[in-house]
Structure 1
Amino acid sequence: MAPGFLHWLKREFGPAPTAAVGYSLGGNMLGCLLAEEGDRCPLDAAVIVSAPFMLEACSYHMDKGFSRVYQRYLLNLLKANASRKLKAYPGSLPVDLRQLKGMRRIREFDDMITAKIHGFADALDYYRQCSAMPRLSDITKPTLIIHAKDDPFMDHHSIPPQEQLPANVEYQLTEQGGPRWLCQRHSA
């Protein structure tokens, strides 16, 4: 869907320079898109921030230490959305409310819901097919990747080896800056 929409934008609005910013899982998806589309990608540049490029490793990292707090927060958001969907459209997901309430890890959610509704065998199949890390060397557009060492969703597995990145991809690793804002209360 994304490539089609981007091509439509180019047709509709002409050759204006176009860039995209992908954050977190959206950054991983943007990395996959850039790699798959190569020179055909209608984007002129991209910025990827805090992307979990190795989904399987990141799913296990979220079971450790303080990362569990973030996992619980995100999982509760996912479960709340899925619960609303099940109540409004019974049978629309491959689980029932009891199964949904019993989930304790994002990996379980991905195994029982995400993978199934998107045609993957299980979470592992989804993680392996949708991780951007093995594809980053195929990116042909100017791209900036920014990660933080203190990101609670990632460990060293999500840091791409500099020697495997093409010259058009710049990588910045900061000491701080992970998405801690997720659990902060926002005032209106």
Structure 2
Amino acid sequence: MLACYLAQHGENSLLDAAVVVSAPLMLEPCADRLEQGLSRIYQRYLLGQLKLNATRKLLSYPGSLPLDLSQLKNLRRIRDFDDVITAKVHGFTDALDYYQRCSALPLLPQICTPLLIIHAKDDPFMTPDVIPDPAVLPANIEYQLTEHGGHVGFVGGSIKQPQMWLEQRIPTWLSLYLEYQQ
């Protein structure tokens, strides 16, 4: 979402700098990935949370979503949820239309704001399809691909003394732009 915002607003972005971590820059391949192997555990959890929120909304505001509780209960994949709820509520034809129009990877060259993107090769949500080609990235985008980090894990150090690597990396990178603005 943040990368799409930055691309759509170009030089008129309200942000001086931004960081995107473990973002599914291509939504369709990421939705496909969640249906495979151990990633299905994440899909089950995420879908459960989405369905719980949708159930609460339907109970509080009947008719507020384009399905009823029995239809909601039968959804088995994130893609199904996106097809029936996310796409319809936000004016997209279906999940594929939503995935194509809201994937940020093709929009990265339009970003003018300094941006740090961090991904891990072992992220269970990701596929090689989300890795940007450095040759097409503008100079204001720094891309960092780590071997390990999972989905927003990025723990360094040792088992006895783990270090939350992300908690150091992001403020250090942003401080360059915060100091510049003062």
TM-score by length of 2: 0.82
Give the Å deviation of 1:180.
7.0
**1:172 maps onto 2:144 in alignment:** yes
Gaps of 5+ in 1: 1-28, 182-188
* CA distance in structure 1 between the aligned counterparts of 2:135 and 2:151, rounded to whole angstroms: 27
What is the one-letter code of the residue matched to 1:101? K
Larger RCO: 1 or 2 (CA < 8 Å, sep 6+): 2
> What amino acid sits opposite 1:44 in the alignment?
D
Q: Which residue of 2 aligns with 1:141?
A: 113
- Tell me how far apart the structure 2 counterparts of residues 52 and 119 of structure 1 sit (CA, whole Å): 21
After TM superposition, the structure 1 = structure 2 runs for residues 27-106 of structure 1, keeping only pairs within 5 Å, are 29-106=1-78
Q: In 2, Cα distance between the equivalents of 1:163 and 1:179?
A: 25
The match for 2:83 is: 111
Cα distance in structure 2, aligned partners of 1:110 and 1:130: 12
Structure 2 Cα separation of the partners of residues 57 and 179 of structure 1:
15
Judging changes above 3 Å, is the alpha-carbon distance between structure 1 residues 180 and 168 closer, same or farther for their aligned structure 2 residues?
closer
Cα–Cα, structure 1 residues 114 and 49, in superposed 2: closer, same or farther, change >3 Å? Answer: same
Unaligned runs of 5+ in 2: 154-182
SS of the aligned residue for 2:35 comes to coil
Once the two structures are TM-superposed, the CA of residue 179 in structure 1 deviates from its matched residue by 2.3
Q: TM-score, normalised by structure 1?
A: 0.80
Q: For residue 93 of structure 2, give the secondary structure of its aligned residue in structure 1.
A: coil
User: What RMSD in Å do the two structures reach over aligned CA positions?
Assistant: 1.0
Count residues in correspondence.
153
Q: Deviations over 1:132-170 (max 9, x none)?
A: 011001111111000011111111011111111101100
